[in-house]
């Protein structure tokens, strides 16, 4: 009996020891996204997790917290900054308040179209801005990759928007960045800044009349049945970002850092493929739900209306804007 219990004790100790050693070597990156499982951004990060796991025999994995389980994007950025999570997939919108130059992407109509935006994020401007995130110790973040967020367009519960005047007086939810509130106000509506975690409630209670987003988000956040007037104003083309906690990054070995950078960057094109498919599928779903997707053939009046935003912010980013415009 004594022997048995001695063996058992030894057995437990050995098990405890080996699991401690095991636990020490295992690394789990917590990742946050406002989007649900299956959404292109979430899927791309999960694939990054599979690659990390395959390259390290399961030593490094990613645990995904989708669907705003950990809050909105402001929270995700803060959690990554303190190292509570490692990976945040967020829009450039809220990150512009931390890395000022990124705000150039938050200016209305800064890109000619999606292809132009892609050429910019895939080229030297994209590389420079991504690097700036990591180079500035104040951000608490390392930039891994850009992702595609398509073009954002208005939807609301009140009326069809075909011309700028139709936006007059509408309370529209914008992302948390003064540029967006100014943009909405310049277009004649009232911009109301809030995180995505509050938008459904705000739409249902009438705190806002509408919001603006790409088709996949309009669809997957469940806003289609609530706000049925959707007009393709495409006033903002904002790339998305994959960032890593600087604090957690610095605690990794050089080899692990290299893996994070490599597989992180690979999400950029992986997500894009998934994105294009998703845009098409969402558009079809939206139309099948009986929504008239209004196209705006002449965007000039919308572009003219946001001139005050450019007057206020444009000069500061003039050099970068020129580089963007010169990008073919
Ligand atoms: C989506 C984007 C999210 C977030 C969201 C929002 O298009 O993918 O990162 O920015 O819009 O409006 O809050």
Is 31 close to ligand 1, i.e. is its CB under 6 Å away? no
What ranges do the domains of the chain cover? 25-148+239-280, 151-237+282-316
- Tell me the pLDDT band of 217, cut-offs 50, 70 and 90: very high
Is 274 close to ligand 1, i.e. is its CB under 6 Å away? no
Nearest CA to ligand 1 atom 6: 196
Query: In the predicted model, what is the mean pLDDT of residues 135-150?
Result: 97
Q: Share the mean pLDDT of the chain.
A: 93
Q: Which numbered atom of ligand 1 lies nearest the CA of 152?
A: 7
Higher pLDDT, 9 or 79: 79
Residue 14 has pLDDT above 50, yes or no: no
Nearest CA to ligand 1 atom 3: 91
pLDDT for 63-76, tens place per residue? 999 999 999 999 99
d(CA 184, ligand 1 centre) in Å:
16
Nearest CA to ligand 1 atom 13: 196
The length of the chain is 328
Q: Measured on CA atoms in the order 143, 146, 147, 148, is the torsion positive or negative?
A: positive
Is 91 close to ligand 1, i.e. is its CB under 6 Å away? yes
- Both tokens of 105, joined, read 């992407």
Q: Could you tell me which CATH class the domain 151-237+282-316 is placed in?
A: alpha beta
pLDDT for 160-190, tens place per residue? 999 999 999 999 999 999 999 999 999 999 9
| 25-148+239-280 is classed CATH 3.40.190.170 | yes
Is 149 close to ligand 1, i.e. is its CB under 6 Å away? yes
d(CA 234, ligand 1 centre) in Å:
14
Same fold, 25-148+239-280 and 151-237+282-316: yes
Nearest CA to ligand 1 atom 5: 196
């Amino acid at each position: 009996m004594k022997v048995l219990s001695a063996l058992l004790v030894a057995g437990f100790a050995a098990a405890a020891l080996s699991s401690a050693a095991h636990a020490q070597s295992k690394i789990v990156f917590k990742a946050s996204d406002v989007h649900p499982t299956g959404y292109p951004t979430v899927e791309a990060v999960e694939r990054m997790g599979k690659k990390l796991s395959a390259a390290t025999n399961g030593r490094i994995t990613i645990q995904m917290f989708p669907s705003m389980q950990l809050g909105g994007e402001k929270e995700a950025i803060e959690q990554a900054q303190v190292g509570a999570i490692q990976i945040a997939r967020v829009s450039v919108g809220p990150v512009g308040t931390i890395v000022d130059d990124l705000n150039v992407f938050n200016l209305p109509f800064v890109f000619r179209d999606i292809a132009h935006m892609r050429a910019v994020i895939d080229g030297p401007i994209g590389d420079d801005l991504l690097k700036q995130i990591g180079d500035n110790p104040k951000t608490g973040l390392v930039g891994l990759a850009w992702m595609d967020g398509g073009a954002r367009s208005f939807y609301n519960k009140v009326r069809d928007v075909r011309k700028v005047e139709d936006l007059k007086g509408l309370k529209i939810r914008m992302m948390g960045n003064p540029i967006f509130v100014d943009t909405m106000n310049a277009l004649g509506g009232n911009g109301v800044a809030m995180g995505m975690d509050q938008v459904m409630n705000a739409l249902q209670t009438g705190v806002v009349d509408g919001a603006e987003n790409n088709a996949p988000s309009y669809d997957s956040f469940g806003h289609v049945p609530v706000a049925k007037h959707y007009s393709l104003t495409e006033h903002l083309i904002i790339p998305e970002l994959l960032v890593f906690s600087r604090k957690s990054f610095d605690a990794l070995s050089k080899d692990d850092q290299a893996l994070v950078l490599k597989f992180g960057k690979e999400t950029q094109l992986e997500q894009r493929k998934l994105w294009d498919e998703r845009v098409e599928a969402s558009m079809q779903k939206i139309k099948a739900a009986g929504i008239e997707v209004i196209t705006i053939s002449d965007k000039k009046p919308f572009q003219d209306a946001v001139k005050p935003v450019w007057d206020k912010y444009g000069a500061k980013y003039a050099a970068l804007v020129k580089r963007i415009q010169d990008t073919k």
